Amino acid sequence: MEQMIGLDAVTEKGRVFELAAELFGVLATPMRLRILSALCDKEKSVSQLLQEIDTTQPNLSQHLNLLYRAGVLAKRKDGTQVIYRVQSEKAVTLCRTVCTQIAIEMDEPSAVPASERLSPRVAS
């Protein structure tokens, strides 16, 4: 019985890593981070997002669809418009935390010790 409990814990831990990697994969493009940033404060239509984000409509729609399927965004129809909003506030918080830390490292590289940096590419 103890071996089964241990095996279940290892399997569960492995699943946690798989799901975390899946989320990081969904968030791992600058375009998707821009989309999340644009939707942080309020919901927006595709046309509103296109005004803020420099890309094509097909490219934007592809990224929006992936974020929607992953559960990060929600959407609704308003006439012919599709309106997107943040579904996962935790994903936004994660992105905001990471992006803020990297911005600090870029602005003041010497203020952040190497052992505390998120981005190894930011030189001091």
> Is the pLDDT score of 2 beyond 60?
no
Condensed to tens digits (0 to 9), the pLDDT of residues 41-65 reads 899 999 999 999 999 999 999 999 9
- Kindly write down the DSSP assignment for every residue of 52-108, as one continuous string: HS-S-HHHHHHHHHHHHHTTSEEEEEETTEEEEEES-HHHHHHHHHHHHHHHHHHH-
pLDDT number for residue 72: 96
pLDDT number for residue 1: 46
Topology of domain 2-87 in CATH is Arc Repressor Mutant, subunit A (1.10.10)
Condensed to tens digits (0 to 9), the pLDDT of residues 59-103 reads 999 999 999 999 999 999 999 999 999 999 999 899 889 988 888
Triad 19, 74, 53: Cα angle to 5° = 95
pTM exceeds 0.85 for this model:
no
Inter-residue contact 124 to 110 (CB < 8 Å): yes
Instruction: Parse the chain into domains and list their residue ranges.
Output: 2-87, 88-124
Mean pLDDT over residues 26-37, rounded? 94
